[in-house]
Structure 1
Amino acid sequence: MHTLSHIWRLGLKELTSLRYDSVLLLFLGYAFTVAIYMPAAGSVIGVHNASVAIVDEDQSHLSRQLAQVLQPPEFQSPVALPYAELDKVMDSGRYTFVINVPANFQADLLAGREPALQLNVDATAMSQAFMGAGYIGRIFQQELLTYSGQAQASELTPVKLTTRSLFNTNLEGGWFLAVIQIVNNITILAIILTGTALLREREHGTLDHLLVLPLTALEIMLAKIWSNMLVVVLCTWASLEIIVKFALGVPLAGSMLLFLLVTALYLFASTALGIFLATLARSTPQFGLLSIPVIIPMLLLSGGSTPLDSMPQWLQWVMQGSPSTHFVSLSAAILFRDAGVEVVWPDVLALAAIGLLFFAVALGRFRKSLAS
C-alpha cells in the first residue's frame, strides 16, 4: 500500500514539474497540433496540381485536344510554350512536365505512320515525376486510340482489371500520414519526456533528495512512467479528436478506447527505453545524442514510411524487436480497419513482451546508476 502511495505522489510531482516547464509544454502542443496538421494537409502522395507546358508545333485539332485532356486536380492547365524556351524552362524547374507535339503529328497518325510525341520530365520533382509520366502516357494513349478510330484500350486487353480500394476509397494520402505522424510523435515524446525528466532531477540534485527517502528504484521509475504515459495518452486522444477527425476530416472507424489502451502499452515500452538511455548519459546533451540513433531507425524502419515487406529479410526480423513496428501495425489495423482484440492480439502480446523486457533492463540499469 505504501508503494502505491509513493508511486502516486511521485507521479504527481512529475506532473507538477511538467506544468512549470514551459518549453516542454510548448513542444507538446506543437507535436500534437501543428506537427500533425501541416504534413497531413500539405504533403500529397501522388500527382496533384502538377505544372505542365506544351510546345505545339503541329497546331492541329488533335494537339489542342491533347492539351485539354490534362485537367485538375492532377494537372494544372497546360501552358503554351515556344519551342525556343523548352530547354530554358526545364533547366529552371519552372514546369514538371513539358510536352512537345511535333509538326504533322495529326497527319502522320491518321496515315498510320505511328508518330513520336516527346514528354520531358523534371525528375528532381520525385513525388510527381514518375507517377505523372505514367498518368500522361495512359491518358494520351486512350485519347489517341479514340481519335484514330481504333478500339478502346479496354477492348484490346484480354483481361479487364477492376480495382477497389478498401478503407480509403479515394486514396487520400493525408489520412494515413496523419496517424503515422501521431505514432512518430508518441515515440519521440515517450523517450524524450522520461529521459529529460530523470536527467533534470540528476542535474538539479533532486534525485539525491529522493535517495534519502524510503523510496526504491522501482517506485521512482514507475512514477515517471505513469505520469508521462498519462500526459501523452491524453494528448494523443485530443489530437485524434480535434486535429485528425475534426480539422482533417479523417474517418476513424475503429475503437478509440482500444487504440488508447494499446498506446499506453506502447508508452510503457518506450518510456522504459527513455529511462535506459538516460542512465547511460551524464547530461541532457549526451542524452540527445544517444537518442538520435535510437529514435530515427524506430521512425523510418517501423513500417510507417515504407512497408516492412520491401526491406531485406534480416532487417524485417531485427525490427520485430522494436515496439514501434508493432505499434504502427496496431494503429492502422485498429483505427482504419476496425480490427478487434481477436485480430490484433498477436501484436499486443509481442508489444507487452517487448515492454516487459525493456522495463526489466532499464530497471536493472537504473538501480546500478543509483548505487554508483
Structure 2
Amino acid sequence: MMRWLTNVFRLGLKELSSLRADPVLIVLIVYIFSFAVYSVATGAKLEVLNASVAYVDQDRSALSGRILSAILPPEFNPPEEISASDVQKVMDRGDYVFVLTIPPHFEADVLAGYQPEILMDVDATAMVQAGNGSVFLQEIIAAEVTKFVSGNDTDSVLPINLVVRTLFNPNRNTVWFSSVMQIINNITILSVLLTGAALIREREHGTIEHLLVMPVTPSEIMVAKIWANGLAIIVAAILSIWLVVQTLLGVPVAGSIPLFVLGAVLYLVSVTGLGILLATFTTSMPQFGLLALPVLVVMNLLSGSTTPMESMPVWLQNVMQISPSTHFVAFSQAILYRGAGLSIVWPNMVIMVTLSAVFFVIALKRFRLTMATAH
C-alpha cells in the first residue's frame, strides 16, 4: 500500500510538472476562472435592464403622456415615438423589444367607463426581457390609469397588505447568481478537459510507452492524474471565489468554503474519471474535443444550473439523476447561496460519492483495457 501511494504521489508530481510546462492549459485555467467569470457575471443579465421601447400615440392625451413618462430607466430606455406604419418594420428588424400602440380617444373612453385596449407588441426572441418586461409594463400602465381615474397620485389602498421577502439575494441581482454558477460549471468543464488532455498528451508525446515499461499499475497512473489535475482546479476555484466573486464583484458567499471544497473533491473523482473515460475512446485532441463537447453541453444545461430541475419533463429529471453534475449543482447552490450546512447537503454528498465510485471503476476498467492494447 505504501508503495502504491508513493507511486501515485510521484506520478502526480509529474502531471503537475507537465501542466506547468503547457502554457496553453495554464492560460485556459487562469482565463476560465477569472475573465470568463467576471465577463459573464456582469454581461449576461437575467433581469430587465435598458429594454428598448417604442410607442405609437394616436390619442396624445394627458393620460397617454402620463403612461409614457412613467416608463423610466434603468429597466427601460426612454420610449421613442414611431409611426403606425413602421411598427411591423421595426419589429422585423429587432429595433425594439416592446412597441406600445395607444388608440385614439383612449383617455375619453377610460373616463367614460369603457375598457379601451393598448396594444403591446413584444419581441420574444429576447426571451427574459420579453417575459419580465411585459409584466412590468402592464403594472406601470395599470397603476397610471388607476391614479388618473381616481384623481389621486398616491398608490391605491388594497384590501390586503402583501409583504414580499426575497431570501438569499434581496436585490435579485443577476451577478450574485451567475458569478457563482460560472465557477460551478467551469469546475465540470475543466475537470473533463484537463484529465482527458493529460492522457492524450501522453500518447502524442510518446510518454505512454515509458509508463508501460515502468513498475506502475493503471490505477496508480489514473489516480495520479485525478489528484494532480483536481488539485489545480480546486486551487483555481478557491482563488476565483476569493478574488473574483467576493473581492472584485462584491458577491457574498453565504456558506462554508471548506465544506464546498470537500464536496468539490468528491465530485472531481467522477468528472475527472469521465474525462479519462472519454479520452480512451480517442487518439488525438481534436477527437477528444469533439467527443467531450456534447457531453459537457448536456451536463451543464440539464444540471439545474441554467433552469430549475422542476421545469424539465419528469423523465428527463430521472435520467439526469445519473449525472454527477446535477447533484454537485444542488450541493453547491445550497452551500454558497443559502448557507446550508452538512446536515442539509449530506444526501448530495453520499450520491456524489456513489457516482464517483461507479465512474471511477468504469473509467479504470476502460483505461486498463487501453493500456493493455497499447502494450
Q: Return the TM-score normalized by structure 2.
A: 0.94
Is 1:11 aligned with 2:15? no
Q: For 1:59-98, what per-residue CA distance to the aligned partner results, in whole angstroms no more than 9, with x for missing partners?
A: 2211111111111111112223344443433332222212
Separation (CA, whole Å) in 2 of partners of 1:303 and 1:127: 17
Unpaired runs of 5+ residues, structure 1, are none
Number of the residue aligned with 2:302: 301
Matches within 5 A, 1:25-40: 25-40=26-41
Matches within 5 A, 1:314-329: 314-329=315-330
Q: Return the TM-score normalized by structure 1.
A: 0.95
Q: Which amino acid aligns with 2:183?
A: I
- After alignment, is 322-331 or 56-65 more displaced? 56-65
Number of the residue aligned with 2:147: 146
Number of the residue aligned with 1:192: 193
Instruction: Verify the 8 A CA contact 1:44 1:173 in the aligned structure 2.
Output: yes
Closer, same or farther in 2 for the Cα pair 1:352/1:61, shift >3 Å? Answer: same
Q: For 1:121-178, what per-residue CA distance to the aligned partner results, in whole angstroms no more than 9, with x for missing partners?
A: 222322211221221112111111121118998756x655432111011111221111
Instruction: Verify the 8 A CA contact 1:272 1:358 in the aligned structure 2.
Output: yes
Deviation at 1:103, TM superposition (A): 2.5
- After alignment, is 224-233 or 73-82 more displaced? 73-82
Is 1:73 aligned with 2:52? no
SS in 2 for 1:99: strand
Deviation at 1:329, TM superposition (A): 0.4
Number of the residue aligned with 1:231: 232
Deviation at 1:272, TM superposition (A): 0.9
CA RMSD of aligned residues (A): 1.8
Matches within 5 A, 1:182-261: 182-261=183-262
SS in 2 for 1:58: coil
Instruction: Verify the 8 A CA contact 1:190 1:232 in the aligned structure 2.
Output: yes
Separation (CA, whole Å) in 2 of partners of 1:206 and 1:38: 38
Q: Which amino acid aligns with 1:10?
A: L
Number of the residue aligned with 1:136: 137
Separation (CA, whole Å) in 1 of partners of 2:322 and 2:352: 9
Instruction: Verify the 8 A CA contact 2:256 2:339 in the aligned structure 1.
Output: yes
Q: Which amino acid aligns with 2:362?
A: V
Number of the residue aligned with 1:267: 268
Q: For 1:291-336, what per-residue CA distance to the aligned partner results, in whole angstroms no more than 9, with x for missing partners?
A: 1232121111111111111112222122111110011001110111
- After alignment, is 115-124 or 190-199 more displaced? 115-124
Number of the residue aligned with 1:371: 372
Q: For 1:10-66, what per-residue CA distance to the aligned partner results, in whole angstroms no more than 9, with x for missing partners?
A: 111111111111111111111111211111101111311111122222222111111
Instruction: Verify the 8 A CA contact 2:147 2:156 in the aligned structure 1.
Output: no
Separation (CA, whole Å) in 1 of partners of 2:333 and 2:287: 34
Separation (CA, whole Å) in 2 of partners of 1:86 and 1:310: 34
SS in 1 for 2:99: strand
Instruction: Verify the 8 A CA contact 2:98 2:123 in the aligned structure 1.
Output: yes
SS in 2 for 1:274: helix
Instruction: Verify the 8 A CA contact 2:324 2:352 in the aligned structure 1.
Output: yes
Question: How many residues matched?
Answer: 371
Matches within 5 A, 1:39-188: 39-149=40-150, 160-188=161-189
Q: Which amino acid aligns with 1:89?
A: V
Closer, same or farther in 2 for the Cα pair 1:181/1:331, shift >3 Å? Answer: same
Separation (CA, whole Å) in 2 of partners of 1:76 and 1:288: 42
Is 1:337 aligned with 2:338? yes
Unpaired runs of 5+ residues, structure 2, are none
Q: Which amino acid aligns with 1:271?
A: T
Q: For 1:319-361, what per-residue CA distance to the aligned partner results, in whole angstroms no more than 9, with x for missing partners?
A: 1111100110011101111111111000001001110111111
SS in 1 for 2:150: coil
SS in 1 for 2:116: coil
Separation (CA, whole Å) in 2 of partners of 1:56 and 1:294: 51
Deviation at 1:270, TM superposition (A): 0.6
Q: Which amino acid aligns with 2:234?
A: V
Deviation at 1:290, TM superposition (A): 1.9
Separation (CA, whole Å) in 1 of partners of 2:58 and 2:356: 66
Q: Which amino acid aligns with 1:199?
A: I
Closer, same or farther in 2 for the Cα pair 1:43/1:214, shift >3 Å? Answer: same
Instruction: Verify the 8 A CA contact 1:154 1:160 in the aligned structure 2.
Output: no
Return structure 1 stretches of 4+ with deviation > 4 angstroms.
150-156
Closer, same or farther in 2 for the Cα pair 1:219/1:154, shift >3 Å? Answer: farther
- After alignment, is 14-23 or 94-103 more displaced? 94-103
Instruction: Verify the 8 A CA contact 2:99 2:120 in the aligned structure 1.
Output: yes
Separation (CA, whole Å) in 2 of partners of 1:320 and 1:88: 46
Number of the residue aligned with 1:278: 279
- After alignment, is 94-103 or 36-45 more displaced? 94-103
Deviation at 1:283, TM superposition (A): 2.4
Number of the residue aligned with 2:348: 347
Separation (CA, whole Å) in 1 of partners of 2:94 and 2:198: 47
